[in-house]
Structure 1
Amino acid sequence: MGQLESKVRDKPDDGLKRSLKLWHLIAYGIIIIQPTAPMGIYGVVSNVARGHVVTAILLAMIAMLFTAVSYGRMARIYPSAGSAYTYVGKELHPLFGYVVGWSMLLDYILNPIICAIWCSAAAVNILPQVPFAAWAVSFVIVFTALNLRGVQTSGRVNALLALAMSIVVVFFLAEAVRYIALVVRPVPGLWLLPFYDPRTFSPNRLYRGTSIAVLTYIGFDGISTMSEEVENPRRNIMFATVLTCFIIGILSSIEVYAAQLVWPGRIPFAPEIVDTAFVQIALRVGGKFLFHLLNATLLIANMGSGIAAQFGAARLLYAMGRGNSLPRRFFGALDPRSAVPKNNVLLVGLCTLGGAFLLTYERGAELLNFGAFIAFMGVNAAALVHYKFRSQEKVIFPVLMPLCGLLVSAFIWLHLSHSAQLLGTAWIAAGLLIYVLMRRERDRVIAA
């Protein structure tokens, strides 16, 4: 699962040496997204898309590649403020930028929720005698307690975790190949079923599965936050963003392709195992050892993502409070001893606890992608307006690339479930109401 931690990276100090090369950025992007990215959502996408997980991953990659180009191009224009909120607010209108920022806040709040849900389901695999509810409460307490102490993992620790995950992925693929060759022994026609199975194929189900599969790539835009530390950022930021999406897409496709050959997509996952379906496949191909190894690996990965995402949400709320987009007294306050936005950490912790019981992993993922696609559409629209009407810089397909990204993102966004669209729209409406109330309050203060 992709981490959102990168979106709240501190701005580098002025004068930092530009020492990062293209391959550094690609490695950083892969660390953010994680090599195990498709494993957490595998069962949900498989059930929704009726087994066409590979196709959903590849379709999502197409949307992300177009959007990655737009992110890379906008990072050229705003090299020190890499954020969809900034791009849209500057190029289109501050109100549109606010809507994008408010949508991103939904992502920040939902990410620790789905991480807590997944971690709890994985923990039940280890100690089934402990109920899901107890695990959910425990993980939320851990997330919140660590963030109240300001404990954050370093870049070196994240890199080591990504390396360990990559080794586990290679081990899983080796066991899967052995199992497919010795047990499955697919005939020639079966090799293509993970891409297209005429018995289960449904375009609408595939498109909805694609709208969830995009979660695989969430976090790629964090590369744009490295603009001030990169050699030739105008070139390398865009190349790194695009190549990261492509590499993650291919790696993820290989992982889920092997999984679908082991566990054919026409066989749906039962509700009690759908969230951790990939580790059930590991049990089939590698026995108890691989089952527990992969389960522990994904558990640690999701814990790291959940902790970082909760802190990111608290930081974003603090920034909005300090900027008077939210009530400053509550959201813009820092704890005097730890310099942590304590109020926000506790508020996000309460939201995480409630969400872990009120949402399913599938619903949370779709809602998260609702906000993400608002940002993606906004960035593509901003790139379209800038390079069509304002920029003198010559780029390849200045209109076609962002237009394709906008249309593909809108198409996938429209295929989110109706409940996710309704809840997401309600969230946007609440944000607009807050915007109006805060605007009136500012006007009243100025008039006084």
Structure 2
Amino acid sequence: MRIKSPDLLVAESGADLEGHGLSRSIGPFQLVCFGIGAIVGTGIFVGLSDTVAEAGPAVLVSFVLAAVTCVFTAFSFAELGSAIPVSGSSYSYAYAALGERTAFLVGWCLLLEYGVSVSAVAIGWGQYLNELLEHTVGLRIPDALAEAPGHGGVVNVPAVVVMLLAAVLLVRGVRESARATAVMAVIKIGVLLLFCAIAFTAFRAGQLTPFAPEGIGGIGAGASLAFFSFIGFDAISTAGEEVKNPRRNVPLAILVTLGVVTLLYCLVSLAALGAMPWERIGGKPAALSLIVNHATGSSLGSTVIAVGAVVAIASVVLAVMYGQTRILLSMSRDGLMPRVFERVSPRTSTPVANTWIVAVVFAVPAAVVPLDVVLDLTVIGTLATMAAVNVCVIALRRARPDLARRFRVPLYPAAPLLGIAFCLYLMCGLPLLTWVQFAVFVGIGSLVYSGYGRKRSRLALSRARGGPPAGPPPAPTPATRV
């Protein structure tokens, strides 16, 4: 139940044991592009067909329901991000509000939201890469090298390649990564808008009926899957230590990003369902390319969609991997993870070893695990951490009403309570097997904390020595780069 005060978290945030801090070099536009880069990818380009298979045309309601869940939680992230602008995201918020053990378990669940989700995103990359290669050069990567075992393959090589390429870019520096993410975000928004323009030329309102063929249960199950398409907006909060004026720009970027993405998803879903009967979309790989081919009668449009998807999914891998490394950096700084994760290169101001460890470890499930297995685990882990963030807002309002908050959750306490309720509702729509896997995962996390983190906690060690309330003293932060 050890609590680390928000003031201490902020004071420590610019330093690590080696004496080199992260660099504040991300502006508001780059941060919004980073958020879009973290969200728009596999969920809409690959996962749309699975969501349609569950809900039919009512997938529009499923997306709105998933978005509402995110809106309430986004308010909570915005308030906490403005009050505690550090790299740890929900882990750091839980440390300040709910105590060390809970914080560790939140950080452990973030391995599902970021680490395992980056594997899921990378898995979907190969589908559209094959589409692109087939339409441009007439070649295809054999299924044995492009699919997971059980789905006609042996190892998913494209998934491993895109993760290693993202790691190369991340270790070069945060400015370079932010610029690349901004360019890719603009490209994929343009491609999705082009898809809508093409699909609406074949729009038939009659194809939206019956609207909810699978009933309320189908809408709920579809919302649980649609939620995967929104995962990543909270990655903005992991950039808290590398953003200019974070108390203003972090909450602003979260809300702008979520609004843009929700509007884009609803537009894409409406265009897709009006252009082709939902029965022909459900369960089909690379569904957007299929719809464009149907609407145009040629493969030219699907080539453009494939280009957008390859770029979009690569940008999600980049942004989500970035988020995972910063969370591990924060946990390591507190002594709850090995020290290798907190070392920052003085040359690039990036955690180089941390980045390569994340890339190599999570490339393994990307190479050999089917997408549906990885997707469900990602969703339940993300929903659990988001529920915890809403609890953190309530706990901090009670414990630290004096804490400076640039943004405050509207309609408090109704908004965070509704955020918790919606998260639990979507979790209930997941299969029993996913719950069992999640329970085992959390149990392992509890054992890791008891056996490793609890004994090495710098907060505990400093209190036992009767010294300062936490670990290493802050080191000078490098000058802001323009």
TM bucket (normalised to shorter chain) is: 0.7 to 0.9
The alignment status of 1:376 with 2:376, answered yes or no, reads no
Q: 1:302 to 1:35 in 2, by over 3 A?
A: closer
Equivalence for 1:210: 223
Q: Deviations over 1:248-307 (max 9, x none)?
A: 11221011111011122244535xxx3422221122123211111111210122123224
Q: CA RMSD in A?
A: 3.7
2:48/2:287 contact within 8 Å kept: yes
Q: 1:377 to 1:289 in 2, by over 3 A?
A: same
Gaps of 5+ in 2: 1-12, 16-20, 147-155, 465-482
Q: Deviations over 1:209-266 (max 9, x none)?
A: 21121122222224444588566945x6445423432221122101111101112224
Equivalence for 1:391: 401
- SS of the residue corresponding to residue 278 of structure 2 reads coil
Equivalence for 1:173: 196
Equivalence for 2:151: none
Q: When the two structures are aligned, how many residues end up with a matched partner? A: 419
Q: 1:11 to 1:364 in 2, by over 3 A?
A: farther
- TM-score, normalization by structure 1: 0.80
C-alpha separation between the residues in 1 aligned to 2:337 and 2:125? 31
2:55/2:222 contact within 8 Å kept: yes
C-alpha separation between the residues in 1 aligned to 2:161 and 2:35? 29
CA drift of 1:430 comes to 1.0
Q: Deviations over 1:297-348 (max 9, x none)?
A: 10122123224544554554455445432344x7667899998654873564
2:86/2:92 contact within 8 Å kept: no
2:81/2:240 contact within 8 Å kept: no
Mean Cα deviation higher: 60-69 or 126-135: 126-135
List aligned pairs for 1:55-204, cutoff 5 A.
55-80=61-86, 83-125=89-131, 126-127=133-134, 129-135=140-146, 136-144=156-164, 147=167, 150-151=171-172, 153-180=176-203, 184=204, 186-187=205-206, 193=209, 197-198=211-212, 200-204=213-217
CA drift of 1:355 comes to 4.0
Which of 245, 248, 252 aligns to 2:258? It is: 245
C-alpha separation between the residues in 1 aligned to 2:252 and 2:166? 35
- TM-score, normalization by structure 2: 0.75
Amino acid paired to 1:290: G
Equivalence for 1:5: none
CA drift of 1:73 comes to 1.5
2:24/2:241 contact within 8 Å kept: no
Amino acid paired to 1:202: G
Amino acid paired to 1:288: S
Equivalence for 2:10: none
Mean Cα deviation higher: 101-110 or 215-224: 215-224
List aligned pairs for 1:163-312, cutoff 5 A.
163-180=186-203, 184=204, 186-187=205-206, 193=209, 197-198=211-212, 200-224=213-237, 225-226=239-240, 233=247, 237-267=250-280, 269-270=282-283, 274-286=284-296, 287-310=298-321, 312=323
- SS of the residue corresponding to residue 79 of structure 1 reads coil
Amino acid paired to 1:53: V
Seq. identity, %: 21
Amino acid paired to 1:178: T
Which of 363, 375, 400 aligns to 2:373? It is: 363
